[in-house]
Structure 1
Amino acid sequence: MIDTSTAPIKTNPRHLTPDGLAAAIFLAFLSTAGLFYVNLGGSFLSAFVDGLGLSRESAGYITSSNKYGAAFGAFIAVLLVKHMNWRKTAYFVLPTLILTDVISFQIADETFLIAIRFFHGSIGGFLVGLGLSVIARMQSPEKGYGMLLAVQYTFGSVGIFTVPKLVGLFGHAAAFGALITFSLITLAMVPFIPDYPPREKAPARPDGKKSSVMLVPLLLTLAAIFLFQTANMGVADYAFELGKDSGYTMSELSNLLAVANLISVSGALLVYSVGTRYGRLLPLMVGVGLAATFTLAFHFSEIPAVYFIANTVTGMTWAFCMSYFLGLIAAFDGHGQMAALGGVISKMGLASGPLIGAMVVGEGNFTLIINLAAGALVLCALFALSPALRLDRANT
């Protein structure tokens, strides 16, 4: 049976209750700040197209480099997370992240932007890996990850609604202003987050043996996460551009996608309220199946209702499934290293989606992007089947 040892006792009077709602929200901010540009969705990519006049292909390469940098930074976090004081590290990383965003909005050259955003991604990815490792030490990691996705979608909705309009008024710098603001808020929260030391007792393997993580289920889960993130991000990063080609104005798109994103929060909140009451296999199979189905619905984006519902449902399943994927990995590890590793693979997927999209989009080949994404989601379900079933049987 997977270890769910008691959460650390609150010792500092200014710290929040370790497994309370407020602590989960603050941890969600910590784990979001480094990658908040992802939650701005296609509005961040479109900021380069509309604000700087870059091509869709160039904008895709810039956002992709940001996410590959995040994967690199998260990998460094995997190596170091056991040996670092996460709070002191956050005090250093967050100001560096803010400074990099300040420099970024003063650059207009595509090549320099690719380089600086890769550096930004590396810092941010390290911070996200750190945050994920701390959430993995909670008594119920799934609930922590559920709140993480809820915060990301809520504030992502605000960004999707406001950033395109601000870009129209102030240029692409408005997108970076949103990132800086979020990082400043997060920095103010850090002193109040509980310590969350590593759990002393190592978790048991699902086969009952006293040893480290089982390699095959871990690799299958990581493969599923990669495919899931690649598929979703490949479509999401081009959601605005797909909408433009379907005849919608930027104002219509920002309003429609902001509402869809806000409704998507319900997927994360459902995880927070349900946890693992029904295991992990059933929620994952239902969630990924719905994601694949409604990804294909993007073929009919010229119909407003279909475009809106497709964005809403894929957003809900994205928030819902990722909570279980990360919880699946965290169940094997008391230190949070595997959760940080899951963050690495997640970011590789987030980066690969827009990269593949940039390679095939041309002047608007969204049909191929949609089909590739749906196929990747089907493969994702196949990879996730065995590890989720194995863990459910162990807990039974």
Structure 2
Amino acid sequence: MSFLRNFFAKHLNLEILALGAGLNAYLGIIGLVPFTIGVLVEGYGFDLKTAGLYASIEIIVMSIAAMAISPLMNKISNSRLAITGGLIIALGNVFVAMYATSTLVVLGLMIAGVGYGLVAAAVNASVASSDEPEKVYASGILVYALAGSVLFAVLPMLYLESFPVYFWAQAVISVVSILLYARLDDSKPSQQQAGDVSASVKKSALLNPRAIALFLATFLVWTGMGLIWAVTERMGVSIGMTSQEAAYALVLSNVIGMVGGLLVKFFGERYGRAKPLFIGSLVMGLSFIGISNSDLASVFTLALIVYGIAYFFLLPYIMGAAVALDSDGKVAAFNGAMPSVSAAISPALGAYLAATYSFSFAGNTAFVFAVVGGLLTLPCALYLDARYRKSTLETMDNEQAVLNS
């Protein structure tokens, strides 16, 4: 019993639940893009291009709001900012649920986007100020993954009879999350710590050609994922699946996809970084072709599962490469922003390509993005692999020298 108490106190306390709720808000809205587009098309009568554009606007506003508030984070309580953001999210979603006209729907999505941006800033600040940010963030991601899977499974059932319920549900979830946001970490790094971090940041790190290649790689891979993800639900419907069946296929992809993360834990750096990064990107690209060219629900679902495994496999290696390239963390921080930047444009791009050309064309485009992205990871990955081998050899030589002495 004492083991369980210690485990929950460290890994599943109210602060971790608050972090998971915040991650579920601002990362979840990106994952819900295909459902949002589906609701705007079927429930509100917008065409696919317009629905994709509206979904992108919400994410763009979220990104702008998060960046705009970030310079003030040392003067604002994280919990209060998250609570404010949660209330704004609820207000925006209520607006969309109540009014179906184009102008008011966009206004409601923009209002919600501001709220998501404030929550994103508060969550990131609370993690950064913790003693062990990596461990805290990892625990929060677990809560987010579990909550996200439940959300993906439940939301489609809620709007079977009334599509506005989709937005009402998000408003209610946001209000409930506010109760947890009050437990976010409000502590701030000491002035000495802040000074040390500022002094350690090297401007040249972001101008390193390997870092620039990695930034482009991450952007392209996530753009490919985003443009496919945005219209995945529509692809499923086009081959005879119901909206709910397509949603469950997405949930299955997310759950089984965690196997990819287990593979990373098993392989680690055993085969370096270059091979896993390129192979992961290639497999992900092939899954895009399978998803967008499937005529059978079973093949569509299988391709989605492959995508999920590739995603959870690729993510740790890409982010790990950024961390390994720059010990100051500047490259990792900048590279971590690439998925959000791509998410701001990929829904509209995916909807445009699918509506103007075809689902197959969108999938083939995403395949090219993934493969080119995989190739662009190689300058960084090959450098890190060579550095790792050199370090290993030096360690072995030193150990041998000690034994011989």
What TM bracket, shorter-length normalisation?
Answer: 0.7 to 0.9
Larger Rg: 2
Pairing partner for 1:358 from 351, 360, 368: 351
1:245 corresponds to: 238
Question: Once superposed, what is the RMSD of the aligned Cα atoms?
Answer: 3.7
Q: Does 1:105 align with 2:93?
A: no
Query: Residues 251 and 89 of structure 1: is their aligned pair in 2 closer, same or farther, counting only changes over 3 Å?
Result: closer
Shift of 1:234: 0.6
AA partner of residue 249 (structure 1): T
Q: 2:43 aligns with which of 41, 51, 55?
A: 51
**Counterpart in the other structure of 1:11:** none
* 38-47 or 152-161, which deviates more: 152-161
State how far apart, in whole Å, the 1-side matches of 2:198 and 2:268 are: 18
Q: Is the 8 A contact 1:295 1:314 kept in 2?
A: yes
Structure with greater proportional helix content? 2
Among 123, 130, 146, the residue aligned to 1:131: 123
1:297 pairs with 290, 301, 304, which one?
Answer: 290
Name the SS of the counterpart of 1:108 in structure 2.
coil
Equivalences for 1:111-260 in 2 at 5 Å?
Answer: 111-135=103-127, 147=139, 150-171=142-163, 173-195=164-186, 197-198=188-189, 200=193, 202=196, 211=202, 214-215=205-206, 216=208, 217-260=210-253
C-alpha separation between the residues in 1 aligned to 2:306 and 2:136? 22
**Matched-pair contact (CA < 8 Å) for 2:95–2:104:** no
| Other structure's SS at 1:54 match | coil
Percent identical among aligned pairs is 22
Shift of 1:168: 2.1
Q: Distance in 2 between matches of 1:183 and 1:392?
A: 44
Shift of 1:203: 6.8
Q: How has the CA–CA distance of structure 1 residues 109 and 218 changed in structure 2, closer, same or farther, with 3 Å as cutoff?
A: farther
**TM-score, normalised via structure 1 length:** 0.79
Note the C-alpha offset of 1:236. Answer: 1.0
| 1:36 alignment counterpart | 28
CA distance in 2, matches of 1:102, 1:185: 15
Q: Relative contact order: is structure 1 or structure 2 higher (C-alpha 8 Å, sep ≥ 6)?
A: 1
Equivalent residue of 1:234, what SS?
Answer: helix
Structure 1 equivalent of residue 400 of structure 2? none
CA distance, structure 2, for counterparts of residue 83 and residue 390 of structure 1: 40
Q: Give TM-score, length-normalised by structure 2.
A: 0.77
Cα drift, residue 303 of structure 1: 2.5
| 5+ residue gaps, structure 1 | 1-14
Aligned CA distance change for structure 1 residues 191 and 21 (closer, same or farther; 3 Å)? same
Number of aligned residues:
375
Structure 1 partner of 2:58: 66
CA deviations on 1:299-357 (whole Å, 9 max, x unpaired) are 442133321121122123334433454455567587x8876654543222112212112
Q: Paired residue for 2:81?
A: 89
Per-residue Cα deviation, 1:195-221 (whole angstroms, up to 9, x for no partner): 56448285799xxx9845601344333
CA deviation digits over 1:176-208, x for unaligned, max 9?
A: 233234323432223444456448285799xxx
Quick one: distance in 2 between partners of 1:134 and 1:338? 20
Are 2:379 and 1:383 equivalent residues in the alignment?
no
The amino acid of 1:241's aligned partner reads: R
Which residues of structure 2 form unaligned runs of 5+? 1-7, 392-405
